[in-house]
Amino acid sequence: MEPIKLNEMDSVRVIGVTVTDSLRNILEKGFVRDMHSTMRYRMTELESRTDDGVYLIQIYPKDEAFTPDIPYENIVGVSVTTDQHIPEGMIEYTIPAGRYAQFLHRGPESNIHQTYDGITEWLRMQYCDPSREIDIEYWDDRYKGESEDSEIDLYVPLQK
């Protein structure tokens, strides 16, 4: 799997909702799907959003090998300007500026693990170490859940 492009990204201020749990629980209990619905419903509270796309930011533990049973943080939110206040029950996170590889997942969201497997293999071939502290998904109007026509942009930071 090859990235669509490699690019320098500016930092992005995101306000949204968060949960920390294992991948196994997140998938079984549908946490991210529920968080996405919550953000779509509460998006009007964020008057200073920069667009209508939704980010999923996955922040992994720094000192542990990732497995489906290791808890990690998931943030689902939208990008906002610096003057946006943080509504009750939401948090703020800044996606770090840096060099990212952008990939595209096409097809049902339930198959996204195949895209992540391809990303991990590409990182292993390019950088030897496929580990990373963060993965970012961006869902805009191309996101259609389980449809074959669905598209999700994925961003992974590149080590310097």
List the CATH number of the domain containing 109. Answer: 3.20.80.10
State what percent of residues in the chain have pLDDT above 90: 84
| Structural domain of 78 | 5-157
Q: Per-residue confidence at 67, pLDDT binned at 50, 70, 90?
A: confident
Task: Give yes or no for residue 64 having a pLDDT over 80.
Answer: no
Q: Which tens digit of pLDDT belongs to each residue from 92-111? A: 999 999 999 999 999 999 99
The two beta strands, 98-106 and 54-59, are: unpaired
State what percent of residues in the chain have pLDDT above 70: 99
Q: Which tens digit of pLDDT belongs to each residue from 14-29? A: 999 999 999 999 999 9
Compare 17 and 63 and report the one with higher pLDDT.
17
In total, how many domains does the chain have? 1
Q: Give the up-direction half-sphere exposure of residue 120: CA atoms within 13 A in the CB hemisphere.
A: 9
Task: Give yes or no for residue 160 having a pLDDT over 70.
Answer: no
pLDDT mean across residues, the chain? 93
Handedness of CA 103, 105, 110, 115 (dihedral sign): negative
Regarding pTM above 0.75, the answer is yes
d(CA 154, CA 135): 7
Cα–Cα distances in angstroms (integers) from residue 26 to residues 4, 77, 128, 136, 147, in the given order = 28, 17, 29, 16, 21
Q: Per-residue confidence at 132, pLDDT binned at 50, 70, 90?
A: confident
